[in-house]
Amino acid sequence: MNWVTLTPSSGQGAADIQVQVTPNPAPAPRQGEITLNGVKVAVSQSAASCTFEINPRSEVIPTTGGSGSVTVTSLAGCQWAATSNASWISITSGASATGPGTVRYSVAANGGSARVGTISIADQTFAVTQQAPGAPCAYTIQPTGFLGNAGRDSLRGPNYQTVDFSLAKDTKIRLLGEGGAIEFRAEAFNVFNRANFGLPINTVFSGTGPATNDVENPLAGAATITTAAPSRQIQLALKLMF
């Protein structure tokens, strides 16, 4: 038996013998014998506990669907099974195995709202997240030789309003001569600090080749706004005139 070690393994006269047993790597019990001067001593060791680990523990799948795999780590001889808990997730291989293995799955396309499903693998849970479909493009590429039908001003930007304010005060100073004075000026732009958003993205197609090589911009027609006018600004000035 290579899993039992005696110390010392030989000698003369009376002595204490230490017996060391290595951990059992298998999920089954094992037995052996130790012989001391013709006397046999039975050694029994219980089975190792089956533990399981999966990697990864979750995955995000595109709206259009897809596939993936999960690696299962366990001791040789440990049996396990994989079960999908969602109708839109299918186990394609590795539904059951013994010892380390791999579970492969496929996810159907999502035509509704965002969803989360799980796969039970041994005593572990694998989560699958799938987002809802995005808004369709408001514009489509016309075939070669055909004109589009988008009207003028079909995209409108948000309302723009701002109130600016200025205040000036002149103070005469005779020491500076007949026209000597000091002017104090206070100016405020966008006094009420109103949010004035910029124009929406107006790029309908992207590409440098002919129309057949262009691609639709997913943001086209979605009124996506990424810019805005400055917030409230205040400036003070002092001018000396002589």
Q: pLDDT tens for residues 25-80? A: 777 788 888 887 778 888 888 888 888 999 999 999 988 899 999 999 998 888 99
d(CA 57, CA 59): 7
SS3 sequence, 68-132? EEEEEECCCCCEEEEEECCCCEEEEECCEEECCEEEEEEECCCCCCCEEEEEEECCEEEEEEECC
- Looking at per-residue pLDDT, the higher value among 187 and 7 belongs to 187
Residue 220 has pLDDT above 60, yes or no: no
Helix, coil or strand: residue 28: coil
pLDDT digits (tens, 9 = 90+) for 154-170: 777 788 889 999 999 99
pLDDT value of residue 41: 84
Beta bridge partners of 69: 104
pLDDT value of residue 193: 92
Q: In the chain, what percentage of residues exceed pLDDT 70?
A: 86
- Arithmetic mean of pLDDT over the chain: 83
Q: How distant is the alpha carbon of residue 85 from its chain centre?
A: 22
Contact 124, 53 (CB under 8 A): yes
Helix, coil or strand: residue 36: strand
Identity of the residue numbered 190: N
**Which of 4-8, 41-45, 120-124 holds the top average pLDDT?**
120-124
Q: In the chain, what percentage of residues exceed pLDDT 90?
A: 39
Domain with CATH 2.60.40.10 in the chain: 53-130
80: buried, middle or exposed (CB in 10 Å: 19+, 13-18, 0-12)?
A: buried
pLDDT value of residue 17: 79
Two structure tokens written together for 170: 């002149």
Beta bridge partners of 235: 187
Yes or no: domain 53-130 corresponds to CATH 2.60.40.10: yes
pLDDT value of residue 137: 58
Residue 139 has pLDDT above 70, yes or no: no
| Type and span of the H or E element at 135 | none
pLDDT digits (tens, 9 = 90+) for 169-200: 999 988 888 888 999 999 999 999 998 888 77
Tell whether the torsion through CA atoms of 184, 188, 192 and 193 is positive or negative. negative
pLDDT value of residue 211: 47
Per DSSP bridges, beta strands 53-55 and 58-61 are: unpaired
- Report phi then psi at 174, rounded to 5: -65, -25
130: buried, middle or exposed (CB in 10 Å: 19+, 13-18, 0-12)?
A: buried
Angle at 77 between CA 75 and CA 82, to 5 degrees: 85
Distances, alpha carbon 61 to alpha carbons 30, 56, 68, 107, in Å: 45, 13, 9, 7
Per DSSP bridges, beta strands 215-216 and 205-206 are: antiparallel
pLDDT value of residue 149: 78
